[in-house]
Structure 1
């Protein structure tokens, strides 16, 4: 990880740019990633979302227009493969590279060639691992300054989701890294099966709300604003973003003995530390984790109390890639403990606790 930067994060401050296309907005545009395995109802959910007034001023990147049946929503072509919808949304297809698609959309927004959207939703393919998309948002210099990850939304089929999780690790990763889980097709599922799947998802990803969805209908407001920044209060909401209470040690992992289940290898936990951390030692610890276990670090979130820093430092990583850490101007509440949330594969909490203690100099862990 690089050293943290002072301020509200990667989108703050002003940049003197000769090219208006490179202008950095006062606040980065929130990005939500909509993922879900084949047949999980992701496309139906998106179609219903695009018809809602709450989706106005939203840009959506999809794989193919035809897959989501936009004919009744079309207004007109806006620019190349971008179209305007009756709801006020913009919709465009990915042409090759996601980075170039996002760059083009942002430049068209600055040039006022398209309406000035204030949110972006990216729909993945059914077989997609969401990690590369999240890493793109964290690593591309142009995107880092102009967009911020708001959250990952994953659809899971209530009728067949258990079998899918058993047979396809891609679906497990989609659910494990999500900030919102949509239990779709609940109208077609047996109530007992749907409830068992809901419990399984809560064990797999304790902090993500599981929202039941019938016929693809879900309120857009329930899916967004999952990030650190709360736009309704204009403040930082660490508790909502981390949800450390969801990772209580008493939360069971009774399924881990079942080797036939892909999610048996997933661990979700939170490490809390009372004493301030030395940044260089912490950085060495993180680099060690990335080098040895990068592919199994599915997602990491943290707010850290760093020596000689007045405000906390926020970190966010996916596998071997970390978003540039940022130092906040002040703590959002009276709790100044460092809190690190991990979702991992085949890695135990005890290893993280012991190695952090060794790198940090032996202070007590809580």
Structure 2
């Protein structure tokens, strides 16, 4: 019987027609609405819809957004991780029916108390949503003044930062010298070493705009699909290690220089999902399969749920390595890496006894 990921290969999907969705998260008071307002002041955002969620009986954030319209939807009195998820699905389905103007992008601003994981799972697990929408990326605002204490006291803030593709440091103008402390930067890198960090306040609206307007049907890598920017600490670390955050969260990258046998890779990912699915906070990457040398496969998952894999028309650059980013809780990076080697070697040994000696390795 095919495993979870393998079964997705037969899913009916038309990736080029799906509307990209950006999730904007961040803890209470971290500046989400301020950043969103600055984005909405940008010209030529026609076709973008905004879904605003906040916790409380009276919705305020909707009124604080300076340029609201029929495309701004308030989901009040609950966080998206619980009572409002049904409303989120209904709202997105309504947006999906819109034709004038054509819907080009959706931005979801979450409640400051929301763990974004269930929202991402809704994107991947609800068949109606998955058929119409595709996750473009997760942006997280981080209060540069209060962040250290917030991370210590509130698990939600840790989850928000850990799963983000982009971290936007806010309120840096209140800091002495206008720059975040090395301790804060180190902690964010410890928590999420693969996210892009945006510190310069004036450049943040444009950075969010680029994520919102990421192309969904070109040969470029979709936002959120794969980008790994190693820090100096990453470069100096042993290759088989992964930085472990004090909350048990770690991020690491599985790489392969040589194309992977399809059956071996699918068997490996099926096994990883089955055994450690609950601990996979985010998985995203480009995979070079031996039988598809000219088209990289994009994978994207949250816990047990994965998007149906998609193939880009062509590689976005000269680098054709398999690169898969894992953001996990308590998962052994070296064990994951070695298990893939075992399955690849076993596949190649069955295919050809002489090929097994040349099985692809992660690191030269």
- Place the TM-score, normalised by the shorter chain, in its bin: 0.7 to 0.9
- Using the TM superposition, name which of 179-188 and 234-243 deviates more: 234-243
Structure 1 position 106 matched with structure 2 position 96: yes
Structure 2 residue aligned with 1:44: 34
Of the three residues 200, 203, 215, the one matched with 2:190 is 203
Point out the more displaced range, 130-139 or 43-52. Answer: 43-52
Rounded to whole Å, the distance in 1 between the matches of 2:204 and 2:244 is 37
Q: CA deviation at 1:99?
A: 1.0
Does 2:359 correspond to 1:365? no
* CA gap 1:169/1:239 in 2 versus in 1, 3 angstroms: closer
SS at the partner of 1:246?
coil
Distance, in Å, in 2 between the alignment partners of 1:45 and 1:256 is 30
In the alignment, does 2:166 pair up with 1:177? no
Kindly tell me the number of residue pairs found equivalent between the two proteins. Answer: 328
Deviations 1:226-270 (A, max 9, x none): 49x953994323799523352784355999788xx43xx222221
Query: Would you say 1:94 and 2:80 are equivalent positions?
Result: no
> 1:151–1:224: 8 Å Cα contact kept in structure 2?
no
Matched, 1:271 2:254: yes
Q: Are the equivalent residues in 2 in contact too, given 1:32–1:224 (CA < 8 A)?
A: no
Q: State the partner residue of 1:323.
A: 307
Q: Structure 2 matches for 1:274-313, cutoff 5 A?
A: 274-310=257-293, 311-313=295-297
User: Unaligned regions of 5+ residues in structure 2, if any?
Assistant: 77-83, 347-358
Does residue 127 of structure 1 match 2:117?
A: no
Displacement, 1:72?
5.5
TM-score for the superposition, normalised by structure 1: 0.78
User: CA separation of 1:149/1:251 partners in 2, compared to 1, >3 Å: closer, same or farther?
Assistant: farther
1:347 paired to 2:334? no
Q: Structure 1 residues 149-158 or 167-176, which shifts more?
A: 167-176
Partner of 1:332: 316
Deviation at 1:317, TM superposition (A): 0.9
Residue 66 (structure 1) aligned to one of 41, 60, 71: 60
- 1:193-272 to 2 correspondence within 5 Å? 194-212=181-199, 219-226=204-211, 231=215, 234-237=218-221, 241-246=225-230, 249-250=234-235, 261-262=246-247, 265-272=248-255
